[in-house]
Amino acid sequence: MFIQAFWSLLVLVASTVLASPAARASIQARQAITALTTAQITAYKPYTYYASAAYCSPSTTLAWSCGANCKANPSFVPVASGGDGDGIQFWFVGYDPTLKSSLCRHGNVEFALETMNSTLFTGVSSSVKVHDGFGKEQAKTASAVLTAVKKTMSAYSTTVVTTTGHSLGSALSLLDALYLSIQIPSATVNFIGYGLPRVGNSAFANLIDSKFPSLAHINNKEDLVPIIPGKCRLLGYVHPSGEKHILDNSTWVACPGQDNTSSQCSTGDVPTIFNGDVDDHHGPYDGVEMGC
């Protein structure tokens, strides 16, 4: 389906300091649609580079030698990576001593809402449903990612984990954020994603909101991926809160609530895929185009 046309990926970053200015702004901006300051936008940039870097296939030696966007976070220390960019999406996990840590992938998928895998998502209510294809993709790499994140946390004495990715990778990294928060209760997990498609139903969005108050999913202009799977709101798909929308004049705004229908937010700005522009999907996000 459409997702095959868009490379997608996932980066996981852990840091000792969670509350970036941008994250704090997202909490304060629950009520009105407010513009982000330059400093708030800049705070997302390392994550933007990580999400982009996930388009580069990880080498077996974990050499961190992909494109310019990878090198934009030169202090990154890779710990583990996997995937083949085909049956299994690329991912990586590592540590960033400045931010502090990381993982990524790519992808393609299917469509129904299903209950979550109770082995991986222990204790999650059966009312919580997610996109079947995303759930299956996440399950393929779940245990390898968990092992790598535990190893990273232990090696660098950090408890803060941030998952990030673009497109399908964003969806997978959102599921990984939930998965890691359940499997590693001592971790403080957050998610910063780009071009996030809808991942689950209303109960899922509420669960995500309750677990990740600093979550950010950043959408560029008329990117149509954030409003799919198609007709999703009719099918019961709901976005979690925390949208940051980049307007046509490049102002970033924080959109309060889930699926805000204001024309300044993706759901209102792109009512159908025919109102969307596929060229906006890869960016630029504050000057960064997704890609290796």
Residues that bind ligand NAG (CB under 6 A): 32-33, 117, 119-120, 139, 142, 247, 249, 251, 256-257, 260, 262
CB of 114 to ligand NAG, least distance (A): 9
CB of 69 to ligand NAG, least distance (A): 26
- 36 or 207: CB nearest ligand NAG: 36
The residue number with the shortest CB distance to ligand NAG is 257
- 20 or 260: CB nearest ligand NAG: 260
User: Using CA atoms, how far apart are residues 161 and 204, in angstroms rounded to an integer?
Assistant: 20
Q: Which of 131, 166, 281, 282 is catalytic?
A: 281
- Write the single-letter amino acid at 222: E
Residue 5 burial (10 A CB sphere; 0-12, 13-18, 19+): exposed
Establish whether the linkage from the previous residue to 284 is cis, with ω within 30° of 0.
yes
SS3 3: helix
Q: Does 281 qualify as catalytic in the annotation? A: yes
Q: Which of 223, 259, 269, 280 is catalytic?
A: 223
DSSP secondary structure string for all residues of 66-122: --HHHHTSTT-EEEEEE--SSSS--EEEEE-TTT--B----------EEEPPTTTST
Cβ–Cβ < 8 Å for 101, 156: yes
Cα R_g (the chain), whole angstroms: 17
Q: Does 262 qualify as catalytic in the annotation? A: no
Q: Which of 200, 214, 216 is nearest to 285 (CA)?
A: 216
CB of 29 to ligand NAG, least distance (A): 10
Q: Which of 8, 52, 102, 167 is catalytic?
A: 167
CB of 118 to ligand NAG, least distance (A): 7
- 4 or 263: CB nearest ligand NAG: 263
Q: Does 217 qualify as catalytic in the annotation? A: no
- 100 or 105: CB nearest ligand NAG: 105
Active site residues: 167, 223, 281
